[in-house]
Amino acid sequence: MKRLACIFMICLSVVYFSGCLGGKTEPAQMEAAKPAEADAPPKLAELQLSASKEVYGADELIPVELQVQTGKFDLLVPYATMQGVGAFRKLVIKNEAGEVVVAKRPLALASRTKLLVKDGKEVRCIQGVELKAGSVNTAQLEDLRTYYNLPAGSYTLQSVMAFDVYKESLPDQSPQVLELQREIALVQANTKLPPDAKQEAVSRLQEELEFIQADNEENPTDIYLPVDSLRGSAEVASNVIEVTVQ
């Protein structure tokens, strides 16, 4: 009886430990079998290219429109690449043979530059535009024929936009603002003025500057992007559309 009892206890122990081991390995196996889920990076923007119709006569205007819908983030980008003709500077047109149609005149616009003052120092800037998150901005090209020779045939169109994204912007500064900023910098750099006189002069100039800047905020003007604040660049491609010229 003792021998049978020992055998029974050994069997019971084997069953117990097998159950424990099985209980531990099964969830691990299930976890290993579960595919890892990677979060997709947020989209910078989406481009939607469109034409007013699909077929055009030999003498008809061929207008196209490009809509830019931003993603989850506000973007500071150069004005010249987002507005008007400049938004189409990387438009790709191919004929029926798949050959790229070369533009007869450039679609690029020169960036408007300006020297502005930041922290008492002059910085070179380009004109910019702020694209709010989730907003839709539209650029239009009145007639493709102005920039491309398009004889009879079918063509595919796709727009590629290079987003140069900047970290900061400066408001356009009036001559009064620039002059006051220069005066403040000169007073602060003056080593001959007593500290009390220097503080009083800077405070007076700063009050006048803040008054003018507050008025400018109520009547906003253009914004400018310091060229040394470039965050990075990325290209985004639009959908492909087809037009036919008779």
pLDDT tens by residue, the chain, 246 residues:
444 344 434 443 443 334 443 444 444 444 444 444 456 567 889 999 999 999 999 889 999 999 999 999 999 999 998 888 999 999 999 999 999 999 998 888 778 898 888 887 889 999 999 999 999 999 999 999 999 999 999 999 999 998 999 999 998 876 677 777 778 888 888 888 888 888 888 888 878 777 766 665 555 568 999 999 999 999 999 999 999 999
| H helix intervals, 107-194 | 175-189
Single pTM value for the model: 0.67
Q: Are residues 78 and 167 in the same domain?
A: yes
Q: Which of 234, 237, 235 is nearest to 66 (CA)?
A: 237
Domain-embedded: residue 82: yes
Q: Are residues 55 and 109 in the same domain?
A: yes
Domain-embedded: residue 180: yes
* Number of neighbours of residue 35 by Cβ within 10 angstroms: 5
Distance CA 240, CA 159 (A): 8
Q: Are residues 100 and 67 in the same domain?
A: yes
Q: Are residues 143 and 70 in the same domain?
A: yes
Q: Are residues 124 and 233 in the same domain?
A: yes
Domain-embedded: residue 185: yes
Domain-embedded: residue 57: yes
Domain-embedded: residue 56: yes
Helix, strand or coil, per DSSP, at residue 203? helix
Domain count for the chain: 2
CATH code where residue 74 lies:
2.60.40.2970
Domain-embedded: residue 132: yes
Q: Which domain holds residue 101?
A: 45-172+222-245
**Amino acid letter at 166?**
Y
Q: Which helix (H) or strand (E) holds 137?
A: strand 136-141
